[in-house]
């Protein structure tokens, strides 16, 4: 069976068109969804991400605000900025671009965001609701991965899933979402012994490590659905965590770039539009 490419770029475009229509309806009711992004310091990769998020917002007809704060920003100043956005009735979603400079406490900053304006779904209250299976804001990257799987009707119920990576923003929420979808989930990480043995059992593999090519073709079960979250720069080129030869074995595979990345931005817009719809 030929490998099906899970085209995140095309799906994200479709989702963003749908969101633009929802934004137009909201505007007729006097509500313009607004997303505020706080960028602290001068990390070049973060600059690009933030710029892309702003462009995507504006294309959907949303209000986008980028607050740039200097590298030496204090914790107090950052939290004060977050509180000002919490109180701004025109802002539905707040996002603190990670990583923050080392002297700042990421957890405290995320906790300062009002849970209902938490566009990334990283607030502990939203994370807790996800754990409890309650309706909540779902972190954008895992939400986008689930949407990619759904778009191709990849069977999940009763299947074996292996998530490689256990971060709060990708691996852990991804594992919860797959479990909710009926998968039997294994989470692998840097202390896992024999990663290949785990991956080989999986019908669904999600690679969220940040190590180029760590998932090789010979680790995969033929026909597996493989979601490559990794973004790595190798010799100036962006590559994922999954080796390119995986396409010869996998049943479904996300490309990098053009897979999970565009879906993450689409889900960020969706989370913000959903917050605005609740406000309206
Ligand atoms: P983190 O660095 O927070 O987490 C990486 C995870 O990989 C950790 O849990 C770590 O284990 C695990 N790991 C490290 N080495 C190994 C190994 N040899 N075998 C198995 N597991 C290992 O990264 P993120 O979750 O934030 O991101 C992961 C990747 O996804 C990155 O490349 C990032 O750029 C990308 N990303 C892409 C997005 C997109 O939109 N496409 C969005 C967000 C992230 P341990 O916990 O034990 O240290």
Q: How far is the CA of 112 from the centre of ligand 1 (A)?
A: 25
Residue closest to 123 by CA, chosen among 135, 100, 107: 107
- Within 6 A (CB) of ligand 1 lie 141, 164-167, 169-171, 188-192, 195, 208-211, 229-232, 260-261, 264
Residue 68: pLDDT over 90: yes
55 C-beta neighbours (distance < 10 Å), count: 12
User: Per-residue pLDDT averaged across 85-90, rounded?
Assistant: 98
Which of 209, 226, 257 to mutate for ligand 1's pocket (most ligand atoms within 8 Å of CB)? 209
pLDDT the model gives residue 105: 98
Residue 213: pLDDT over 80: yes
27 C-beta neighbours (distance < 10 Å), count: 15
Q: How far is the CA of 207 from the centre of ligand 1 (A)?
A: 8
pLDDT-derived band at 19, boundaries 50, 70, 90: very high
pLDDT tens readout for residues 33-51: 999 999 999 999 999 999 9
* For ligand 1, atom 18: residue with the closest CA: 190
pLDDT the model gives residue 1: 75
User: Per-residue pLDDT averaged across 251-255, rounded?
Assistant: 98
Residue 250: pLDDT over 80: yes
pTM over 0.85: yes
CA 66 to CA 83: how far, in whole Å?
A: 15
CA 72 to CA 82: how far, in whole Å?
A: 17
pLDDT tens readout for residues 131-156: 999 999 999 999 999 999 999 999 99
Residue 189: pLDDT over 80: yes
CA 173 to CA 138: how far, in whole Å?
A: 8
Residue 28: pLDDT over 80: yes
- Bridge partners, residue 34, by sequence: 63
Instruction: Give the percent of the chain with pLDDT over 70.
Output: 100
Enumerate domains of the chain plus CATH numbers.
30-118 (3.40.50.10860), 140-261 (3.40.50.720)
pLDDT the model gives residue 110: 97
Q: What is the mean pLDDT of the chain?
A: 97
3-state SS track over the chain: CCCEECCHHHHHHHHHHHHHHHHHHHHHCCCCCEEEEEEECCCHHHHHHHHHHHHHHHHCCCEEEEEEECCCCCHHHHHHHHHHHHHCCCCCEEEECCCCCCCCCHHHHHHHCCHHHECCCCCHHHHHHHHHCCCCCCCHHHHHHHHHHHHCCCCCCCCEEEEECCCCCCHHHHHHHHHHCCCEEEEECCCCCCHHHHHHCCCEEEECCCCCCCECHHHCCCCCEEEECCCEEECCEEECCECHHHHHCCCEECCCCCCHHHHHHHHHHHHHHHHHHHHC
Strands 204-207 and 160-164: parallel
Distance, first Cα to last Cα, the chain: 47
pLDDT-derived band at 215, boundaries 50, 70, 90: very high
pLDDT-derived band at 166, boundaries 50, 70, 90: very high
């Amino acid at each position: 069976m030929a490998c099906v490419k899970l085209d995140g770029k095309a799906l994200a475009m479709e989702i963003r068109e749908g969101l633009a229509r929802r934004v137009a309806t909201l505007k007729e009711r006097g509500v313009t969804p607004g997303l505020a992004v706080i960028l602290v310091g001068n990390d070049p990769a973060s600059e690009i991400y933030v710029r892309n998020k702003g462009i995507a917002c504006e294309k959907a007809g949303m209000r986008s605000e980028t607050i740039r704060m200097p590298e030496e920003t204090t914790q107090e100043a950052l939290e004060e900025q977050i509180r000002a956005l919490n109180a701004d009735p025109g802002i539905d979603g707040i996002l603190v671009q990670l990583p923050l400079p080392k002297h700042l406490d990421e957890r405290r900053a995320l906790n300062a965001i009002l849970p209902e304006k938490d566009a990334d779904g990283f607030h502990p209250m939203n994370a807790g609701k996800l754990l409890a299976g309650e309706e909540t804001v779902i972190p954008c990257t895992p939400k986008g991965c689930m949407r990619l799987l759904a778009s191709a009707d990849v069977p999940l119920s009763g299947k074996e899933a292996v998530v490689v990576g256990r971060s709060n923003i990708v691996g852990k929420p991804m594992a919860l979402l797959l479990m909710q979808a009926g998968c039997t989930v294994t989470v692998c990480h840097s202390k896992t012994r024999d990663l290949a043995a785990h991956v080989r059992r999986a019908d669904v593999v999600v690679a969220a490590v940040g190590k180029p090519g760590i998932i090789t073709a010979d680790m995969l079960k033929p026909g597996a659905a493989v979601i490559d979250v990794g973004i790595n720069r190798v010799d100036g080129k962006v590559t994922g965590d999954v080796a390119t030869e995986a396409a010869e074995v996998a049943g479904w595979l996300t490309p990098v770039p053009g897979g999970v990345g565009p879906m993450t931005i689409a889900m960020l817009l969706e989370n913000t539009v959903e917050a605005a719809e609740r406000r309206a």
